[in-house]
Structure 1
Amino acid sequence: MSDLENALNGKSVAILVANGFEESHMTSLHKALVLTGAEVKIVSPEKGVVNSWHGNGWGHFFPANAHLATSMSHHFDAVIIPGGTRHVNRLISDPQTARFMRGFMEDNKPVALIEEAPKVLAEAELLGERSVISTEAINEVLQEKGAKVVEADIHVDDMLVTGKFADDTLVEKFAGCIQNYEPEAWEAA
């Protein structure tokens, strides 16, 4: 990770979470992204604070920096969604999630998804034939929506990074996508 210190200065990254997100994922991702120099904002459908899931019960509350209903993809350079079945289902049930994520996917901006988070894109019909990693519990849903499920710990499909773990390797791959993203090239294509 020391290679990435200040590598993302001037970049804005959204961490999209709803009540029930996996606390260890969000805190480790947040810390790692801050070390890269990125401006990290917690975006949530919850107003004010969002409650994590830790172990076998509810965890800590975290301040939400931005409300999902008023957030736009063009406010951020990239987005990451931690794992956690409860929060993934909550995000899927909110139509604002599909709107927010559609902007990232249509502009081919960097997106990182951990564990069951690819289900958010699948249910919003935003995965298409992309290849992703996920949990066994939702592989069938992803395949029904046209995604190709691959077996690995981390996988990169253009600007889409999926992983089984919220670790330094995932952050390094995600940061690489953010560094390599060229909006002008994408818009010209």
Structure 2
Amino acid sequence: MAHELDGTKVAILATDGVERVEVDQPRGALHAAGAETELVSLHPGEIQARQFDMHPAGTLPVDRLVSDASVDDYDALFLPGGTMNPDQLRMNREAVEFVRSFVESGKPVAAICHGPWMLAEADVVRGRRITSWPSVRTDLRNAGAEVVDEEVVVDQQFTTSRSPADLPAFCRAIVAQFAAARAAA
């Protein structure tokens, strides 16, 4: 088992409505590579996860509130999808500012499915090459991104994917990107 992310701390920004598999599989890949993760959210306790946006998929414990989180506490940021999750997060000023500050720090940011919606809301995609779930692509284009339909897209500090079907490639890519950023730091 590789430990290329030993000592790396990753913030997972999510709230109610997050797509369960889009948290579990990347988190598992990050842990297997030695990273520590924290679920950062809007409210304490637990968040409600979903499967295919429609079906309850249990809860996930919240480790820290976004209002108490600092970019300085983390080496990377991960934005999972689910339609309701980023739609709620983008209505929260602190969550949007957390994402914007993370991008401004130059640290790596990964987003899958509807997760890139937060990048559009934070106004950090202008001139960047991005992919996402199809319904988010117009918002990304309107925010100035070059939107493509590819399994995984890596553009500087961003790693993005389209859907849960892309999770195997996405998980490999985020481990590689987070490790490369750590090595360069």
TM-score normalised according to structure 2 size: 0.92
Q: Could you tell me how far apart the structure 1 residues matched to 2:23 and 2:183 are?
A: 27
Partner of 2:160: 162
- What is the identity percentage for the equivalent residue pairs of Structure 1 and Structure 2? 27
Q: Could you tell me how far apart the structure 2 residues matched to 1:101 and 1:95 are?
A: 10
Partner of 2:92: 94
Partner of 1:35: 32
Correspondent of 2:48 among 48, 51, 56: 51
Residue 64 to residue 140, structure 1, CA distance change in 2 (3 Å):
same
Correspondent of 2:130 among 118, 129, 132: 132
Task: Report the secondary structure of 1:46's partner residue.
Answer: coil
Further displaced range: 165-174 or 44-53: 165-174
Query: 1:165 Cα shift?
Result: 3.7
Q: Tell whether the 8 Å contact from 1:83 to 1:115 is kept in structure 2 after alignment.
A: yes
Residue 63 to residue 182, structure 1, CA distance change in 2 (3 Å):
closer
Query: CA RMSD for the aligned pairs?
Result: 1.7
TM-score normalised according to structure 1 size: 0.90
Residue 183 to residue 145, structure 1, CA distance change in 2 (3 Å):
farther
Residue 24 to residue 184, structure 1, CA distance change in 2 (3 Å):
closer
Residue 77 to residue 103, structure 1, CA distance change in 2 (3 Å):
same
Q: Tell whether the 8 Å contact from 2:153 to 2:159 is kept in structure 1 after alignment.
A: yes
Q: Tell whether the 8 Å contact from 2:9 to 2:76 is kept in structure 1 after alignment.
A: yes
Partner of 1:9: 6
Q: Could you tell me how far apart the structure 2 residues matched to 1:54 and 1:182 are?
A: 32
Residue 183 to residue 176, structure 1, CA distance change in 2 (3 Å):
closer
Task: Report the secondary structure of 1:152's partner residue.
Answer: coil
Partner of 1:175: 175
Gaps of 5+ in 2: none
Letter in 1 for 2:160: T
Q: Could you tell me how far apart the structure 2 residues matched to 1:13 and 1:182 are?
A: 12
Q: Could you tell me how far apart the structure 2 residues matched to 1:184 and 1:33 are?
A: 18
Q: Tell whether the 8 Å contact from 1:107 to 1:183 is kept in structure 2 after alignment.
A: no
Residues 104-143 of structure 1, C-alpha deviations (whole Å, 9 max, x = no match): 1111111000012111111121212111001221211111
Query: 1:184 Cα shift?
Result: 7.9
Aligned length: 182
Partner of 2:75: 77
Q: Could you tell me how far apart the structure 2 residues matched to 1:176 and 1:31 are?
A: 14
Further displaced range: 171-180 or 17-26: 171-180
Residues 151-176 of structure 1, C-alpha deviations (whole Å, 9 max, x = no match): 21110001100002452321222122
Letter in 1 for 2:43: E
Query: 1:57 Cα shift?
Result: 2.0
Task: Report the secondary structure of 1:181's partner residue.
Answer: helix
Residues 48-104 of structure 1, C-alpha deviations (whole Å, 9 max, x = no match): 111101242222111111111110111100011111010010110111111111121
Q: Tell whether the 8 Å contact from 1:22 to 1:82 is kept in structure 2 after alignment.
A: yes
Correspondent of 2:16 among 11, 16, 19: 19
Q: Tell whether the 8 Å contact from 2:109 to 2:159 is kept in structure 1 after alignment.
A: yes
